[in-house]
Amino acid sequence: MEELQRLILQGENDRLDFKQRVTQPEKIARTLVSFANTRGGVILIGVKDNGTISGIDPEEEKHTLQLAADFYCDPPVKVQYEEVEDDNRTVLKVIIPESTHKPHYAKVKTDDWRGYVRVKDTSVQTSKIVERGLALEPPQFEPLPLDRHENAVLVYLRESPRITLKQYMKLANLSERRAYRTLVKLVIHGYLRLHDKEKEDFYTLS
């Protein structure tokens, strides 16, 4: 129990994620893949985003998680489970080791598989360039020299709270493919943060 509280106090980060429930295998697959592709991590199921323990039925959650790991991840992701009790509530600790078979892809929909890496507390979709690099080495998070297109988005975000892919394409006069690759690169190196919970993805300064 003490270890559980210690973990929760850390808050979500590049190696820890909280989930109240796991109901959709395709969604949790992205988190599994992102940890396997990066440095490994732990998901606490039965913990709300704010760190409150809500508890779950571990068998039900394991069923969905195993489905996600085996059929919504390619290659399948290895996961280990530990059940932790806290005041008669059960939290499922899901351990995902860093994979030796990178890159892994998550099934988003039929015939659509995408790669993800973990950046801070977010699972970020990768570009093909990053995926090729994952097979050789984990993503690097050190500062990198920025070109004028990359600097343009950072300057814009110092004045504005957020930017979308379309806004950035217009700002930097770039094709969709190149603009997207630039934004993903900046997310992976820790300059930007991707927000994909709303209708349209957007980016903010980290």
Residues 6+ apart with CB under 8 A from 45: 19, 20, 21, 22, 56, 58, 61, 65, 91, 92, 93, 94
Q: Decide: pTM greater than 0.75.
A: no
pLDDT given for residue 131 in this prediction: 62
Please provide the CATH number assigned to the domain covering 148-205: 1.10.10.10
pLDDT given for residue 74 in this prediction: 93
pLDDT given for residue 206 in this prediction: 80
pLDDT given for residue 141 in this prediction: 47
pLDDT given for residue 127 in this prediction: 67
Distance, in Å, from the CA atom of 108 to the CA atom of 2, rounded to the nearest integer, reads 36
pLDDT in tens, the chain (206 residues): 688 999 999 999 999 999 999 999 999 999 999 999 998 999 999 999 999 999 999 999 999 999 999 999 999 999 999 999 998 999 999 999 999 988 899 998 888 888 999 988 888 888 665 666 666 554 444 556 788 999 999 999 999 999 999 999 999 999 988 888 888 778 777 788 888 666 788 899 98
Encoding tokens for residue 188?
A: 């992976």
Domain boundaries defined on the chain: 2-126, 148-205
Distance, in Å, from the CA atom of 165 to the CA atom of 176, rounded to the nearest integer, reads 8
Q: Is the dihedral of CA 27, 28, 34, 37 positive or negative?
A: negative
pLDDT given for residue 34 in this prediction: 95
Length of the chain (residues): 206
Architecture of the structural domain at 2-126: 2-Layer Sandwich (3.30)
pLDDT given for residue 195 in this prediction: 80
